[in-house]
């Protein structure tokens, strides 16, 4: 029996004939690397994903309170690496963000080393190393945004890479989980077009576009309307994806659950986006300082946005695993024609 920790190419189930299925299955059993569930490693991976969410929320608090440049130097803070400064005003948000982000770099280094030590799946080891380099790139972007006084493109890249890293952390937590490692995937072929796989990739794409547009607006590089306009497209694509997943593959738990969560988060995110628009754009233009309703609404909007993107990535991974695309078998005409034999 093969382990479900295998990649999809190693999965024996295909639409080909019975003989080839058996042959493929055998070959792949021989090639299979037995992944083992490591509870401590998985728990730590989940912890890293949760810590990433905290850092994203802390970053959202910095931007929402217009505190991004309250500590003018980087990588030191007022000349020191870790000395606690006078903890008032914008410094509270910016300094705390730097400290939790620094902790996250250490946690990511730890999960990367741990994964290299205990993990037998080569692609997962690479993913863990990739996570480490992503968090380093993210830290450098954070530094650049301070040193160059928050250029919209750099600050938006900082926001986008943050959520990309969150998705990687969530994926590592998923791949190291007991279900992924020990359970045999329940596979159903997808005959519809566009396939659910295509829809999930499209969902990720429109969410990234939305993330960039939102970041550009938030960092004063663009007007609000492209973000609002794309919200309509995001709502349509994500609803389509979620409804397809829930209605057609309701029997596949691994697909149904993230699809339901994605739809719920989408609704919450639309409500938060509307609230953020009201508090910040419609009512808050002449505010002399960031007020609590606008800070709460925008921070929640960023946090739920990160959860929505991560859930969509999880759905895409599960669809890739459980609902592969079925292709029509292309048998040469001569072999189809019985009389030719």
Partner 1 sequence: MNKKNGFRLFVSALAFSGLLLTAACTKNTEQSNNTKEEKQAEAPPATPIDPATVATVKGSVKFDGAAPKPSKIDMSQDPACKGSNESENVVVSGGDLANVFVYVKDGLGNRAFDVPKDAVVLDQSGCKYHPHVLGVMAGQTVQIKNDDQTTHNIHPTPKDNREWNESQPPSSPAIEKNFAREEVMLPVKCNQHPWMKMYVSVVKSPFYAVTDKSGKYEIKGLPPGDYTIAFVHEKLGEQDQKVTVAPKETKTVDQSFKAAVE
User: Among 29, 99, 110, 147, which residue interacts with partner 1 (rule: CB under 8 A)?
Assistant: 147
Query: Among 191, 287, 327, 329, which residue sits at the site for partner 1 (rule: CB under 8 A)?
Result: 287
Instruction: Report d(CA 292, CA 103) in Å as an integer.
Output: 27
- Can you tell me which of 22, 113, 229, 331 binds partner 1, judged by CB under 8 A? 113
Question: Of 138 and 230, which has the nearer Cβ to partner 1?
Answer: 138
| Distance separating alpha carbons of residues 102 and 51, to the nearest angstrom | 11
Nearer to partner 1, 129 or 260 (CB): 129
Residue 73 engages partner 1 in binding (rule: CB under 8 A): yes
Q: Does 130 bind partner 1 (CB under 8 A)?
A: no
The region of 20-28, 43-51, 136-144, 165-173 touching partner 1 under the rule CB under 8 A is 136-144
Contact status: 285 vs partner 1 (CB under 8 A): yes
Among 1, 30, 40, 88, binds partner 1 (CB under 8 A): 88
Among 24, 25, 54, 125, binds partner 1 (CB under 8 A): 125
Q: Which residues bind partner 1 (CB under 8 A)?
A: 65-76, 78, 85-86, 88-92, 94, 109, 112-113, 116-117, 125, 129, 132-133, 136, 140, 143, 147, 149, 285-290
């Amino acid at each position: 029996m093969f382990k479900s920790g295998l990649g999809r190419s190693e999965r024996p189930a295909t639409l080909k004939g019975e003989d080839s299925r058996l042959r493929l299955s055998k070959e792949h059993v021989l090639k299979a690397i037995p992944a083992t569930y490591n509870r401590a490693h998985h728990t730590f991976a989940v912890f890293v994903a949760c810590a990433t969410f905290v850092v994203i929320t802390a970053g959202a608090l910095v931007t929402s309170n217009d505190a991004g440049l309250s500590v003018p130097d980087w990588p030191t803070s007022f000349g020191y690496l870790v000395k606690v400064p006078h903890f008032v005003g914008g410094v509270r948000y910016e300094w705390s963000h730097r400290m939790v982000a620094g902790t996250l770099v250490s946690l990511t280094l730890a999960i990367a080393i741990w994964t290299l030590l205990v993990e037998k799946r080569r692609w997962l080891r690479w993913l863990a190393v990739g996570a480490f380099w992503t968090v380093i790139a993210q830290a450098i972007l954070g530094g650049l945004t301070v040193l160059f006084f928050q250029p919209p493109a750099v600050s938006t890249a900082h926001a986008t890479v943050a959520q990309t890293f969150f998705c990687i952390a969530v994926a590592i937590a998923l791949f190291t989980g007991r279900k992924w490692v020990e359970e045999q995937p329940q596979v159903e072929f997808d005959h519809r077009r566009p396939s659910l796989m295509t829809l999930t990739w499209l969902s990720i794409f429109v969410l990234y576009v939305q993330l960039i547009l939102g970041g550009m607006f938030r960092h004063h590089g663009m007007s609000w309307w492209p973000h609002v306009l794309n919200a309509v497209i995001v709502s349509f694509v994500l609803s389509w994806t979620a409804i397809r997943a829930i209605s057609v593959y309701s029997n596949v738990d691994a697909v149904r659950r993230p699809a339901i969560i994605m739809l719920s988060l989408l609704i919450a995110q639309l409500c938060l986006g509307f609230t953020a628009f009201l508090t910040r754009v419609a009512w808050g233009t002449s505010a002399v300082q960031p007020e609590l309703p606008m800070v709460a609404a925008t921070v929640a909007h960023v946090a739920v946005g990160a959860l929505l993107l991560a859930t969509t990535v999880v759905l895409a991974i599960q669809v890739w695993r459980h609902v592969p695309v079925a292709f029509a078998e292309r048998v040469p005409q001569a072999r189809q024609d019985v009389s030719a034999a």
